[in-house]
């Protein structure tokens, strides 16, 4: 008897067998059809991914469109559901990175970590046709798995899912979960507050929060298709780091996030305005007026660059002579690279959620304090030395920027570094002399970057977690303290911002920091800690509680903390009441 094939199995082999039998291939029954677990039927059409059961222990699908390309008339519009396709769509390669100005943390010309990153810094890379997501699941037939949806960081001006650190295979296998990563619009293409782009027909679209709307659309896609990949649409964890964490907090405060996720993991981010924080703090959210000024300035600079006006005053007059439709058409007719080049040339690079009052409350912390937010269990975290990745911000304290070499030289220095060989490289070759030796009390690199972290990350962390504590007890917080890199990177970076991500994803190379951080000597402890951290994330995604049998400590809710660290050989995990 022929085995009945599930809807996600390919039919080609069975059809061929039937044809052979009809042509006199023998009287024996045809063999059972061979399942193809990498073929799945989505709401929009069939996709064929990669069967990596023998290598990573997972099935993977990459570059699945969750919205139509936001190009042409759809630039600065809410994302539109993808058009259904016929036939089988091959989903074995990552989709384009969204258009962005190149950074040390971003893609090169080949949409991945490679040497071209050093030569594309501060130039447009990526593509506006970028609204795709990727899925990994264990190579099993288990269903009802928790779903972890990850939102990348990058100051909301850069980032891409093809970053090797974000490969979801190890996490999906270890956490026994479906892992989803998504591309979303960044920079002024993702957040744009300009009156001429508002139509009055869609309040969400008029908010200018196109990146948040992208994430919402991706979460809707997950709700529609999670079961196809063996995931539970009723158990979705929304996870983000840095700018991604800011966006996760924003969706906790947004009515648009209601019902789309059931747990939140915001790492190294916040959602606080300056007015929410103590004097001297650096906010993690700017008011809508900041982005209105940015949008108006960008428009005027483009007008001047096109020779339509000779200065800002004349540009404003020209703009006033045009209708909103004419301005919108003008902007949508510009090449995306031209827009980004103008942004960079005029110092207009800041980007982030716009507290417009519709998609995002004008004061998210006040809304949360009043109980107006999406109440879900939260697992938040920070690294122990966040400030060591924000060297340029040291100018806020009256000193010079922290790195004495530019990003291209730093990138190439790390790419060429051999973590297992003796080196003559010192922290003085990388860090500005004012901050060396790094352990100098008060003025050294470690002290000054700690001062930066205390003004930047810590106030927003305390503000949001203390606010939520009044409404819910299921708040968990960790600090990542691992700093066992080979010298001199152990003091240059240590437990820097984003250095917990390789541990949470189980990916240690190749990537932008991998040569500087991962040595043979620190591998045993590094892998042991990573396994514990992935199991912790898996436990939280399943139950809303990160405690699990192999943690080795009893983690108390906020203001309790768990500290993740490791020796060269073993994980070292400590609970702090």
According to DSSP, the residues that pair with 338 across neighbouring strands are: none
Distances, alpha carbon 556 to alpha carbons 122, 211, 237, 379, 559, in Å: 44, 34, 20, 12, 8
CA angle 550, 178, 537 (to 5 degrees): 30
> What are the residues whose beta carbons fall under 8 Å from the beta carbon of 84, sequence distance 6 or more?
43, 44, 45
Distances, alpha carbon 510 to alpha carbons 248, 415, 502, in Å: 27, 9, 11
Task: Select from 264, 275, 273 the least CA-distant residue to 239.
Answer: 264
User: Distance between CA atoms of 124 and 25, rounded to whole angstroms?
Assistant: 59
Distances, alpha carbon 210 to alpha carbons 161, 249, 334, 530, in Å: 18, 16, 18, 34
CA 456, chain centre distance (Å): 19
Distances, alpha carbon 323 to alpha carbons 181, 329, 333, in Å: 39, 10, 15
Residue pair 253/271 in contact (Cβ under 8 Å)? The answer is: yes
Residue pair 539/547 in contact (Cβ under 8 Å)? The answer is: yes
Inter-axis angle of helices 288-305 and 312-320, nearest 10: 100
Q: At 423, which helix (H) or strand (E)? A: none
Query: How buried is 127 (Cβ within 10 angstroms: 0-12 exposed, 13-18 middle, 19+ buried)?
Result: middle
DSSP 313-335: HHHHHHHHTS-HHHHHHHHHTS-
**List 242, 254, 281, 446, catalytic entry:** 242
> What are the residues whose beta carbons fall under 8 Å from the beta carbon of 161, sequence distance 6 or more?
94, 95, 97, 132, 133, 134, 152, 181, 182, 183
Residue 289 bears catalytic tag = no
User: Distance between CA atoms of 96 and 109, rounded to whole angstroms?
Assistant: 10
According to DSSP, the residues that pair with 285 across neighbouring strands are: none
User: Distance between CA atoms of 256 and 50, rounded to whole angstroms?
Assistant: 33
Phi and psi at residue 478, to the nearest 5°: -125, 155
> What are the residues whose beta carbons fall under 8 Å from the beta carbon of 236, sequence distance 6 or more?
146, 147, 148, 149, 219, 222, 223, 226, 260, 261, 262, 263
User: Distance between CA atoms of 360 and 212, rounded to whole angstroms?
Assistant: 9
Distances, alpha carbon 263 to alpha carbons 59, 126, 377, 474, 536, in Å: 24, 31, 5, 10, 14
Task: Select from 93, 90, 353, 113 the least CA-distant residue to 214.
Answer: 353
What is the set of active-site residues? 242
């Amino acid at each position: 008897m022929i085995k009945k094939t599930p809807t996600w199995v390919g039919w080609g082999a069975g059809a061929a067998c039937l044809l052979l039998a009809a042509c006199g291939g023998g009287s024996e029954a045809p063999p059972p059809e061979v399942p193809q677990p990498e073929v799945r039927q989505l709401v929009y059409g069939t996709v064929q991914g990669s069967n990596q059961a023998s290598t990573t222990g997972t099935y993977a699908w990459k570059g699945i469109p969750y919205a139509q390309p936001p190009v042409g008339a759809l630039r600065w519009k809410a994302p539109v559901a993808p058009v259904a396709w016929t036939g089988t769509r091959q989903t074995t390669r990552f989709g384009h990175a969204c258009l962005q100005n190149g950074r040390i943390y971003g893609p090169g010309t080949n949409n991945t970590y490679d040497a071209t990153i050093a030569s594309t810094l501060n130039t447009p890379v990526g593509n506006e046709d970028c609204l795709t997501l990727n899925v990994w699941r264990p190579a099993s037939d288990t269903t009802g798995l928790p779903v972890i949806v990850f939102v990348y960081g990058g100051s909301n001006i850069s980032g891409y899912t093809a970053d090797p650190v974000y490969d979801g295979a190890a996490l999906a296998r270890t956490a026994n979960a479906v892992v989803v990563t998504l591309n979303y619009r960044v920079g002024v293409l993702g957040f744009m507050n300009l009156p001429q782009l508002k139509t009055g027909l869609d309040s969400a679209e008029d908010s200018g929060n196109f990146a948040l709307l992208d994430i919402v659309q991706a979460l809707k896609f997950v709700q529609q298709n999670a079961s196809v990949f063996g995931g539970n649409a009723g158990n979705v964890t929304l996870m983000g780091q840095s700018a991604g964490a800011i966006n996760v907090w924003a969706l906790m405060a947004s009515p648009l996030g209601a019902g789309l996720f059931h747990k939140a993991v915001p790492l190294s981010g916040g959602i606080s305005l300056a007015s929410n924080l103590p004097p001297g703090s650096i906010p993690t959210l700017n008011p809508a007026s900041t982005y209105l000024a940015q949008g108006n300035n960008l428009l005027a600079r483009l007008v001047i660059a096109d020779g339509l006006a000779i200065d800002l005053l004349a540009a404003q007059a020209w703009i006033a002579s045009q209708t909103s439709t004419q301005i919108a058409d003008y902007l949508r007719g510009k090449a995306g690279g031209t827009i980004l080049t103008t942004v960079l040339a005029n110092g207009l690079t800041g980007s982030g959620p716009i507290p417009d009052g519709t998609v995002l409350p004008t004061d998210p912390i006040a809304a949360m304090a009043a109980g107006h937010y999406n109440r879900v269990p939260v697992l938040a975290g920070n690294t122990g030395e966040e400030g060591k990745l924000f060297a340029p911000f040291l100018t806020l304290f009256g000193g010079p920027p922290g790195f004495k070499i530019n990003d291209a030289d730093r990138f190439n220095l790390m790419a060429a570094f051999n973590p297992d060989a003796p080196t003559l490289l010192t922290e003085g070759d990388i860090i500005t002399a004012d901050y060396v030796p790094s352990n100098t009390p008060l003025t050294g690199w470690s002290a000054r970057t700690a001062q930066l972290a205390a003004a930047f990350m810590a106030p927003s962390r305390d503000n949001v977690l203390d606010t939520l504590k009044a409404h819910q007890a299921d708040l968990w917080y960790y600090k990542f303290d691992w700093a066992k890199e080979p010298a001199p990177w152990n003091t240059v970076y240590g437990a820097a911002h984003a250095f917990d991500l390789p541990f949470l994803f189980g990916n240690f190379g190749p990537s932008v920091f991998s040569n500087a951080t991962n040595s043979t000597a620190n591998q045993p402890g590094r892998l042991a800690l990573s396994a514990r951290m992935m199991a912790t994330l898996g436990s939280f995604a399943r139950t809303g509680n990160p405690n699990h049998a192999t943690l080795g400590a009893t983690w108390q809710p906020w203001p309790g903390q768990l500290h993740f660290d490791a020796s060269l050989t073993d994980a070292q995990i400590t609970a702090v009441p």
